Amino acid sequence: MTPTIVDSHCHLDFPDFDGEVEALIERARAAGVTRMVHICTRLAQEPKARALAEAHDGVFYSFGLHPMSVGKESPLTVDQLVAAARHPKMVGIGETGLDYHYTPESKDAQQASLRVHIEAAQITGLPLIIHARDADEDMARILSEGHAAQPYACVMHCFSSSAELAQAALDLGFYLSMSGIAAFPKSHDLRAIFAAAPLDRILVETDSPYLAPPPFRGKRNEPAYVTHTAKVGAELFGLSYADFAAATSANFDRLFTRAAAKAAAA
């Protein structure tokens, strides 16, 4: 039997997949990817994300405002996030975070938006999904301040930052998610960060349609390809692919408790 695995972060409503979502999901299932979390990053797209999750078993969604969109979109409120979180297939808050690489001009607004999302995670009990790029010091500080005020769960999505930020996140009980970047040949330092982390804090994702792992690098990514990243992760931890898939799926269930409960009830 094909081992089952979870794609913890993908974007199924991007134009790259227009007219192909059904086939995309079928290819994922054929590869053993029985569950996936579609990440909604704009208020206008939330109804479509909700409908997508409602239409497909094993597809869940999250909702938040991407930090690179903060300067272009109306800010989300805590009330909006909490209201959306009432839907049984909404399983996470975000993605949110800080991106000083592409959008440094909006960093103050990004920090304010991040704090709004943290508060929503604290209220709802849903995990926070974090995007971090070239903002390690502020990211560690804001996440730590929020956690000290009221603990919450969190995953550092597509983690590719410093070992220091990784340790700060792990110290707070957070998870690190491995994307196709970790499978790139030159990502030695990043693989070392993952290898040094506890196995029970590791997730895998595609971030599709971006960051396809080898042998698809440079092409459009899709949820089925999470298996290729997971095979690299299995090698890092000295495990078989089946055991690594089982471990990361168990980690997903501990973090995304609403998705786990839905699966258990099925």
Residue with tokens 């005020």: 149
Alpha-carbon span 255 to 154, nearest angstrom:
8
Residue 9 counted as an annotated binding residue: yes
Known binder of ligand: residue 56? no
87 labelled binding-site residue:
no
Q: Is 157 annotated as a binding residue?
A: yes
Report yes or no: 31 and 228 within 8 Å, Cβ to Cβ.
no
**Is residue 200 marked as binding?**
no
> How would DSSP label each residue in 180-206?
GGGGSTT-HHHHHHHHHS-GGGEEE--
Q: Judge whether 95 is annotated as a binding position.
A: yes
Peptide bond into 215 cis (omega under 30): yes
Q: Which residue has the tokens 């410093």?
A: 162
Helix runs in the chain, H state only:
21-30, 46-55, 78-84, 107-124, 136-149, 163-171, 188-196, 226-236, 241-255, 257-265
Binding-site annotation, residues for a divalent metal cation: 9, 11, 95, 131, 157, 207
Binding-site annotation, residues: 9, 11, 95, 131, 157, 207
